[in-house]
């Protein structure tokens, strides 16, 4: 395998990685996954939840736990 082939394969791998984790992942930032008895939010109901973005870091963080505990407390 030549140097050009390796470079092309690495560039393709980078493109696929960026697409999968940055581009496709970005489309889910407004959705909340099911967690700890809370059904989550798929983005289809007539309600808006304002809270930390769970996809910003490794889910769940202590902040996510606080948010979900509050959702559970009020019946969501």
* pTM for this prediction: 0.48
pLDDT recorded at residue 34: 82
Q: Cβ(35)–Cβ(64) under 8 Å?
A: yes
pLDDT recorded at residue 36: 84
pLDDT recorded at residue 73: 92
pLDDT recorded at residue 65: 87
pLDDT recorded at residue 59: 76
Whether 33 shows a pLDDT value over 60: the answer reads: yes
Q: Cβ(56)–Cβ(31) under 8 Å?
A: no
Question: What is the rounded CA–CA span in Å between residue 27 and residue 72?
Answer: 25
């Amino acid at each position: 395998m030549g140097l050009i082939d390796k470079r092309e394969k690495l560039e393709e791998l980078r493109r696929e990685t960026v697409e999968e984790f940055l581009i496709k992942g970005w489309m889910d930032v407004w959705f909340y996954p099911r967690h700890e008895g809370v059904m989550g939010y798929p983005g289809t109901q007539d309600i808006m939840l304002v809270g930390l973005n769970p996809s910003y870091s490794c889910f769940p963080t202590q902040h996510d736990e606080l948010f979900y505990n509050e959702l559970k407390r009020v019946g969501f």
